[in-house]
């Protein structure tokens, strides 16, 4: 026979869980606010006012999840998760700095909205944009999250293994969105053969996206692309060649690489 839990007990457990999260967050804040100097266990207990047993338990959980770490003397420092975040932000800032001249050149030659995107786990994050010179242009895509299989930059990164191919059902945003895994794999093969990706009406009806891979020392690390209305981007091969040229120029700036078929 199952044992029911009284509403008061349930509320008490929920309150206790929230309190533990608040306390753990407080400890993280106190360590990160240390400015890089190790914070001792005793300092944390005294400043936070928590029992030593509570503080020890919370610090152990934070350490296991890479939010905090101990140095050789036992002092507490921000964990590897913070270091990874900071490192990624620094890499992206450098990439945007190096990519900006090539993005401006592509925007100047086409007049369209130009974007730079990087892989982030199973997603694609757009980190920089040059706006269209036309009144009828595209929106600000920086930070906008779209299904990876619906954008040209997403497909480029999928095609070159920079992000994993989605498993399960593919979201349909328009009648033209690719929702079949078999069809998506065919698209990715064609992208690798063509050297660039193009999407027509797949993310939004009336919107065309064209993107090419950006490499650093032979590895695809980003996608450079542009987008605009179907009426202005009817000549995909010509526009695709413009995008590829700037993506290759940026790749050369980032580091030597060998394209497919090179000796």
Q: Where are the domains of the chain?
A: 7-78, 88-254
Tokens at 192, concatenated: 């690798």
Specify the range with the lowest mean pLDDT, choosing from 6-15, 40-49, 79-88, 124-133.
6-15
- Contact between 251 and 257 under an 8 Å Cβ cutoff? The reply is yes
Nearest by Cα to 184 from 201, 196, 167: 167
Residue-averaged pLDDT of the chain:
85
Looking at residue 89, its pLDDT comes to 62
Over residues 70-123, the pLDDT tens digits come to: 988 899 988 877 766 665 567 788 899 999 999 999 999 999 999 999 998 888
CATH number of the domain at 7-78, out of 2.30.40.10, 3.30.70.141, 1.10.10.10, 3.40.190.10?
1.10.10.10
**First CA to last CA distance, the chain:** 72
> Is pLDDT at 44 greater than 70 in this prediction?
yes
CATH number of the domain at 88-254, out of 3.30.450.40, 3.90.1150.10, 3.30.365.10, 1.10.760.10?
3.30.450.40
Tokens at 129, concatenated: 């944009």
């Amino acid at each position: 026979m199952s044992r029911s839990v009284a509403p008061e007990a349930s509320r008490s457990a929920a309150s206790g869980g929230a309190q533990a999260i608040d306390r753990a967050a407080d400890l993280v804040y106190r360590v990160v606010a240390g400015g890089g100097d190790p914070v001792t266990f005793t300092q944390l207990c005294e400043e936070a006012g928590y029992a030593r047993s509570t503080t020890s338990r919370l610090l152990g959980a934070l350490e296991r999840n890479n939010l905090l770490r101990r140095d050789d003397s036992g002092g507490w420092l921000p964990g590897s998760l913070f270091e990874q975040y900071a490192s990624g932000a620094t890499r992206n800032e450098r990439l945007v700095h190096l990519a900006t001249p090539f993005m401006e050149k592509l925007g100047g030659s086409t007049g369209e909205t130009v974007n730079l995107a990087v892989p982030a786990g199973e997603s694609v994050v757009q980190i920089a944009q040059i706006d269209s010179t036309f009144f009828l242009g595209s929106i600000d895509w920086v930070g906008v999250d779209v299904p990876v299989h619906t954008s040209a930059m997403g497909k480029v990164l999928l095609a070159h293994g920079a992000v994993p191919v989605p498993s399960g059902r593919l979201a349909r945003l328009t009648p033209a969105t690719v929702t079949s895994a078999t069809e998506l794999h065919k698209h990715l093969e064609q992208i690798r053969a063509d050297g660039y990706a193009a999407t027509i009406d797949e993310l939004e009806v009336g919107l065309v996206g064209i993107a090419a891979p950006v490499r650093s020392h032979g590895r695809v690390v980003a996608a450079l692309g542009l987008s605009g209305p179907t009426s202005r981007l009817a000549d995909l091969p010509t526009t695709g060649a413009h995008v590829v040229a700037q993506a290759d120029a940026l790749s050369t700036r980032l580091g030597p690489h060998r394209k497919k078929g090179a000796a």
